């Protein structure tokens, strides 16, 4: 996920909003040139479904970088 689409809180947390929208007065320009207008976050923030996918993705990235840190419950062995 591109970090630019996340909203950063005062505490430094990155949150995923429910959706983004183009303001009403800019819709015609957006139709003429898709992706050209600024989008503003709307809806619930964090959007729990998307937020959970973001967190799982970050965890998977960490495991790929450091697989030795992954341990399974009731197991004495590492993933290796």
Q: In degrees rounded to 5, what are phi and psi of residue 48?
A: -55, -40
pLDDT, tens digit (0-9, with 9 covering 90-100), for 55-73: 898 888 888 787 776 666 6
Q: What ranges do the domains of the chain cover?
A: 3-69
pLDDT (0 to 100) of residue 34: 92
Model confidence, pTM: 0.55
The band of 29, judged by pLDDT with boundaries at 50, 70 and 90, is: very high
C-beta of residue 40 within 8 angstroms of C-beta of residue 23: yes
How many C-beta atoms surround the C-beta of residue 55 within 10 A?
13
Cis bond before residue 46 (omega within 30° of 0)? yes
Range list of H helices, 3-79 = 27-32, 48-65
Residue found under tokens 């989008």: 39
Partners of 7 in the beta sheet? 15
């Amino acid at each position: 996920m591109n970090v630019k689409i996340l909203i950063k809180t005062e505490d430094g947390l990155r949150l995923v909003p429910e959706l983004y929208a183009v303001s009403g007065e800019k819709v015609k320009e957006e139709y003429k040139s898709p992706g050209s207008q600024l989008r503003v976050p709307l809806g619930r923030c964090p959007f729990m479904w998307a937020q959970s996918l973001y967190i799982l993705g970050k965890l998977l990235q960490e495991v790929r970088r450091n697989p030795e840190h992954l341990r399974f419950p009731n197991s004495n062995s590492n993933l290796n």
